[in-house]
Amino acid sequence: MLTSTFVHLKGIGPSTERRLWESGIADWATFLREPNLPGISPSRKVLYDVDLAAAQEQLDRRNARYFADCLHTRDHWRLFPTFGPRALYLDIETTGLSARDGQVTLVGLYRQGRMRTLINGDDLSRDVIQEELDQADLLITFFGSVFDIPYLQACFKGLRVSIPHFDLCFAARRVGLQGGLKHIERELDIARDSDLLTLDGMEAVRLWHQYHAGDEAALDQLVRYNAADTRNLEPLADWLYDRLSLRYGPPSLTPAG
DNA sequence: TAGGACAGTATGGGGACCTA
DNA sequence: TAGGTCCCCATACTGTCCTA
């Protein structure tokens, strides 16, 4: 998908990109081979060739951060097949107050099949989150661009998020799926343990307070709830990528998985 | 529990720019 | 020069949090 992308070139939008695909320009290599292209002047073609060569070099270096800058946020989903294997799925729980007055209680991190839960008062710190982010090529959240990331950055000053961010909430809206994460999970038959089905964000706050009152079982349930939220982002991202590539990708592209 | 506030993204309209 | 497309800005939309 990434090497079929042209909308990162200045002056090329979705319409021109689609016209290129329909005229057989399916990827960067074909674009570079053709001396002339309909709708693109020779002087512009020279500039685009330079930009595409630079993009190819960055891709060869596996530099996801380069594409975070040159692609519009709404197109970061295109990076999923290339950088998805090194994606970091993230979901946080909080004390329920605003970022100014509240605290992050748990941070769920799922990467390369490994679930890690950072707990406030134990191993949760800015440096650990930063380390996890720095080791990933793509950040995947649900509504994280509005809630999780600004909340983390408010609580942990100086936290940098320089990798591309595939926010599944807005991707879901683009393919016609409304509602919160749990609602969408039910729509798509994405499973979670039965004792976690009735939990929501407010219940998570209550569990945290129960834990602080000495109830260890409450922490266990909270950790499992957060892990379910975090892990379930992976099948949702797969499903949304397929839908987005069908709707917005080149006609020749066969969706993965 | 319900309505308002907030924040980030999506969308639509109009002006600017580019190609043929 | 006309038509098509892009870009920018304002507005709408949505999920979550806050407050009464």
pLDDT of residue A192: 67
pLDDT at A202 over 80: no
DSSP-derived secondary structure for A11-41:
T--HHHHHHHHHTT--SHHHHHH-S-BTTB-
Q: Which nucleotides of C are covered by protein (CB under 7 A)?
A: 4-7, 14-18
pLDDT value of residue A61: 93
Please report the pLDDT score of residue A100 as a whole number. 62
Instruction: Identify whether A216 is part of a domain.
Output: yes
Identity of the amino acid at A201: G
Q: Which string of DSSP letters, residue by residue, matches A110-174? A: EETTEEEEEETTTT--HHHHHHHHHT-SEEEESSTTTTHHHHHHHHSTT----S-EEEHHHHHHH
Cβ neighbors of A12 (< 8 A, separation 6 or more) are A6, A20, A48
pLDDT in tens, A147-183: 888 788 878 877 888 888 888 887 887 777 766 777 7
Give the least confident one: A94-98, A117-121, A246-250: A94-98
* pLDDT, position A197: 63
A87-94/A138-141 β-pairing? parallel
Interval A73-81 mean pLDDT: 85
Strand C, CB < 7 A, residues 94-123 of A: 94, 96-98, 101-102
Distance between CA A242 and CA A193 in Å, rounded? Answer: 26
Rounded to whole angstroms, the distance from the CA of residue A167 to the C1' of nucleotide B2 is 28
Q: Give me the CATH number covering residue A140.
A: 3.30.420.10
CA to C1' distance (Å), from A233 to C17:
22
N-terminal to C-terminal alpha carbon distance within chain A: 14
Predicted pLDDT at A254: 44
Inside any domain, residue A7: yes
User: Which neighbouring-strand residues pair with A110?
Assistant: A89, A115
If asked whether residues A123 and A213 sit together in one domain, one would say yes
Neighbours of A69 (CB within 10 A): 9
Q: What is the pLDDT of residues A6-25, one digit of tens each?
A: 888 877 877 778 778 877 88
Total domains, chain A: 2
A102/A221 Cα distance (integer angstroms): 21
Q: Is residue A222 part of a domain?
A: yes
Residue A114 confidence (pLDDT): 93
Tell me: do A235 and A109 sit in the same domain.
yes
Q: Determine whether the distance from the CB of A146 to the nearest atom of strand C is below 7 Å.
A: yes
Q: What average pLDDT does the structure give for chain A?
A: 81
pLDDT at residue number A116: 92
Which nucleotide is nearest to A40 if distance is taken from CA to C1'?
B19
pLDDT digits (tens, 9 = 90+) for A82-98: 999 999 998 888 876 66
Decide if A248 is inside a domain: no
Structure-block tokens of residue A28: 């960067």
pLDDT reading at A33 higher than 50 = yes
Residue-range definition of the domain harbouring residue A33: 2-61
Q: Are residues A133 and A164 in the same domain?
A: yes
Q: What is the CATH number of the domain that holds A8?
A: 1.10.150
If residue A107 lies in a helix (H) or strand (E), which one and from where to where? Answer: strand A104-111
Residue A19 within any structural domain of the chain: yes
Same-domain pairing of A110 and A21: no
CA distance A210 to A207: 5
Residue A255 has pLDDT above 50, yes or no: no
Q: Which range, A15-19, A96-100, A114-118, A217-221, is most confident? A: A114-118
Distance CA A221, CA A216 (A): 9
